[in-house]
Amino acid sequence: MRVIVVGGGGREHAIIKKLKENKSIEEIFALPGNGGMAKDATCVNIGAKDLDGIVKFAKENAIDYAVVAPDDPLVLGCVDALNDAGIPCFGPTKAAAIIEGSKVFSKNLMKKYGIPTAEYEVFSKAEDALKYLADAPIPTVIKADGLALGKGVVIALTREEAFDAVKSIMEDKKFGDSGNNIVIEEFLEGPEVSVLAFTDGNVVKPMVSSMDHKRALDFDKGLNTGGMGTIAPNPYYTEDIADECMKTIFLPTIEAMKKEDREFKGCLYFGLMLTKNGPKVIEYNCRFGDPETQVVLPLLESDLFEIMQSVTNGTLDKCEVKFADKSACCVIMASKGYPEKYENGFEIVIPEEISDSVYVAGAKLGDGKLLSAGGRVLGVTAIAPSLKDAIDGAYKKVSLIKFDNAFYRKDIGQKALKATEDK
């Protein structure tokens, strides 16, 4: 089998490494991939949003199967375009990817089908939003409707910040057309859990739970980033909570999408908050999370390619999805200055003995060397019987990587460790 993986970050590298365990796969092409994954896949310089280029490549190279990993191509309809060309895919169609592509859609879906989420209002005019905010409860949360590179959410701790957020999203168009509509929602509190789930539109098989660390600095300080590290499983996500989520959130969401004629097939990501009134949905993503994937897939004991094909074929009920009873920790090494200004082009040296558990996100090859080429440069994952050992293992591996401009959080997993100890 010849497979393409659309995308080029650490998540895609983790997917590719796992797919390689399947012996029926002869070659994997990453579109565009990055220099750091060149040993695991053939990188082809076609952008993840270049749908015509992707389809042309797939047809010309006798591709048997495609995995579309990032949000942009999914929301643009990459799966539909590949399917039209006769190529089976892992990932939702454009009609289903709207669950991430439009927050207005997902909030209205949850309201219509009684799926627990924060209370909200939708606005298409800045003046209406500002009027509403004049006496709305504070803190409040303001979200641009469309995709905004994970930056379209503002937690406003003061009324002033809320006004500023509305103005910058709706009037200054900080996120372009993604901010034509906004959602203003209730501020929720509680531990956050990420649950990625395989679904073929009928059956949902959740993966091991995880915890992201979104802020740039230790102790959840600093700016929001694409994610600075993850651990799995998430100790706050008990079996009882998992059962409750299956009944009140996962199955109702799949059913709702089917009823709306938007059957979802692929990986559905539930961003949950465990509030004192029960688990609520903070966001849906129509894809694997990054860097959640870098802790979840290394714990997967079943064959990823078989699961993906069963999702495509609608036979997930017959497919085993089994995870190791262990913990994993992934630490992201970013470029100093990320998520703001940073420099590229620093050499990265990864010792061969740990390269299996290094997932490269932003690097390129130059003069036979691996050079940094992005904000988040790589992730390093360790697996161990206990969370503590997984954390120690990940930091040990970090210390073995030579990358002068590296910046990373020192406290990945500490909050989870404390929660485990408090249990």
Cβ-in-10-Å burial (0-12, 13-18, 19+) of 240 comes to: exposed
Q: Segment contacting ligand GLY (CB under 6 A): 178-186, 283-291, 345-353, 378-386?
A: 283-291
Is residue 227 a contact point for ligand GLY (CB under 6 A)? yes
Closer residue to ligand AMP, CB minimum distance, 280 or 326: 280
Give, as ranges, the residues between 140 and 169 that touch ligand GLY (CB under 6 A).
Answer: 150
Closer residue to ligand AMP, CB minimum distance, 93 or 225: 225
Minimum Å distance from CB 143 to ligand AMP? 7
Q: Do residues 204 and 251 lie in contact, with contact meaning Cβ atoms separated by under 8 Å?
A: yes
Is residue 282 a contact point for ligand AMP (CB under 6 A)? yes
Which residue among 201, 289, 393, 413 contacts ligand GLY (CB under 6 A)?
Answer: 289
Is residue 190 a contact point for ligand AMP (CB under 6 A)? no
Give, as ranges, the residues between 101 and 120 that touch ligand AMP (CB under 6 A).
Answer: 118
Minimum Å distance from CB 296 to ligand GLY? 11
Residue 289 contact partner, candidates ligand AMP, ligand GLY, none, CB within 5 to 8 A by sort of partner: ligand GLY
Task: Return the structure tokens found at 352.
Answer: 């061969």
The kind and range of the H/E element at 295 are: helix 293-299
Closer residue to ligand GLY, CB minimum distance, 12 or 290: 290
Minimum Å distance from CB 138 to ligand AMP? 12
Strand ordering across the sheet containing 369-372: 363-366, 369-372, 347-349, 402-403
What is the Cβ-side half-sphere exposure of residue 315, based on CA atoms within 13 angstroms?
7
Minimum Å distance from CB 80 to ligand AMP? 25
Dist CA 100 CA 207 (whole Å): 19
Dist CA 302 CA 300 (whole Å): 6
Task: Return the structure tokens found at 169.
Answer: 């999203």
Three-state SS string over 391-415 comes to: HHHHHHHHHHCEECCEECCCCCCHH
The kind and range of the H/E element at 304 are: helix 304-313
Q: Do residues 10 and 379 lie in contact, with contact meaning Cβ atoms separated by under 8 Å?
A: yes
Is residue 185 a contact point for ligand AMP (CB under 6 A)? yes
| Inter-helix orientation angle 94-101/251-259, to 10° | 130
Closer residue to ligand GLY, CB minimum distance, 294 or 310: 294
Residue 292 contact partner, candidates ligand AMP, ligand GLY, none, CB within 5 to 8 A by sort of partner: ligand GLY
Dist CA 11 CA 220 (whole Å): 22
Residue 244 contact partner, candidates ligand GLY, ligand AMP, none, CB within 5 to 8 A by sort of partner: none
Task: Return the structure tokens found at 128.
Answer: 């209406």
Is residue 147 a contact point for ligand AMP (CB under 6 A)? no
Which residue among 21, 112, 177, 187 contacts ligand AMP (CB under 6 A)?
Answer: 187
Q: Do residues 408 and 334 lie in contact, with contact meaning Cβ atoms separated by under 8 Å?
A: yes
Is residue 274 a contact point for ligand AMP (CB under 6 A)? no
Minimum Å distance from CB 255 to ligand GLY? 24
Which residue among 145, 200, 290, 303 contacts ligand GLY (CB under 6 A)?
Answer: 290
Is residue 278 a contact point for ligand AMP (CB under 6 A)? no
Q: Do residues 103 and 110 lie in contact, with contact meaning Cβ atoms separated by under 8 Å?
A: no
Give, as ranges, the residues between 206 and 225 that touch ligand GLY (CB under 6 A).
Answer: 212
Nearest of 239, 235, 272, 278 to residue 253 by alpha carbon: 272
Nearest of 221, 420, 198, 403 to residue 329 by alpha carbon: 420
Can you give the length of the chain in residues? 423
Number of residues that bind ligand AMP (CB under 6 A): 14
Closer residue to ligand GLY, CB minimum distance, 53 or 190: 190
Residues that bind ligand AMP (CB under 6 A): 118, 141, 150, 153, 155, 185-188, 192, 214, 271, 282-283
Residues that bind ligand GLY (CB under 6 A): 150, 212, 227, 285, 289-290, 292
